[in-house]
Amino acid sequence: MTNHKIEEWFQLYERDITSFLTYYIGSMDVEDLVQETFMIAMKKMSGFRGQSHPKTWLISIARNKVVDGYRRRKVWEKIKHLVLREPKYSNELEEQTILNQEIHQLYKAIHQLSPQYKEVVILRGILELTAKEVSEVMKSNVNHVNVMFHRALKQLREILVEGGFPYEENGELTRKSEKTS
């Protein structure tokens, strides 16, 4: 029964766990962490009481695994260069290249946020968890999560605008570099 449930959860939530870890640690190479997350879940399945949604429980396991890794090995110093490197763009279509550049710029901007802001943006904004689910993962209250998310988005917008990311002003799309002083 335990293995069947974990297999079912893997089918349902593996993509969410992979997305969370990719954004959270700043690397596309998260397969091992995803597998470890589900292995830990299998071992601790008897401790899961169903008080939270399985997805938030699994994200909590993944988050704790990463946090433990940061503490032990200072992983951030080892992966920092991955966040700042330029992605390899395909020359298939100009639109795809622009989209890739904007995604990369967003990705870099997220990693300029404080750890708490980064986490809340990933959980609420990218994985689209509810404030209640995020509060369970972050071990915080819902109001604090909502305030953090609002502040994180404001700071993220400022970082993006400073970096020349297009934004809307008076109904027109513009960039900071296009504004005259």
How confident is the model over 63-76, as pLDDT tens digits?
A: 988 877 765 554 33
Residues 70 and 41 in one domain: yes
Question: What mean pLDDT do residues 7-15 have?
Answer: 93
Do both 115 and 171 map to the same domain? yes
pLDDT band at 79 (very low <50, low <70, confident <90, very high): very low
Q: Last residue of a domain, which of 59, 85, 111?
A: 85
Segments forming the whole domain that contains residue 14: 1-85
| Model pLDDT, residue 85 | 46
CATH code of the domain in which 136 resides = 1.10.10.10
Helix or strand or coil: residue 106? helix
pLDDT at 67: 79
Dump pLDDT digits (tens) for 51-65: 889 999 999 999 988
Tell me: do 39 and 125 sit in the same domain.
Answer: no
Q: Is 138:120 a contact under the CB 8 Å cutoff? A: yes
> How much is the pLDDT for 138?
92
Q: 141 pLDDT exceeds 60?
A: yes
Q: Look at residues 65, 85, 105 and tell me which one is the last residue of a structural domain.
A: 85
Same domain, 79 and 159: no
Same-domain status, 76 and 93: no
Rounded CA-CA distance 84/153 in Å is 21
Number of domains in the chain: 2
Tell me, yes or no, whether 5 and 71 share the same domain: yes
Full-model pTM = 0.55
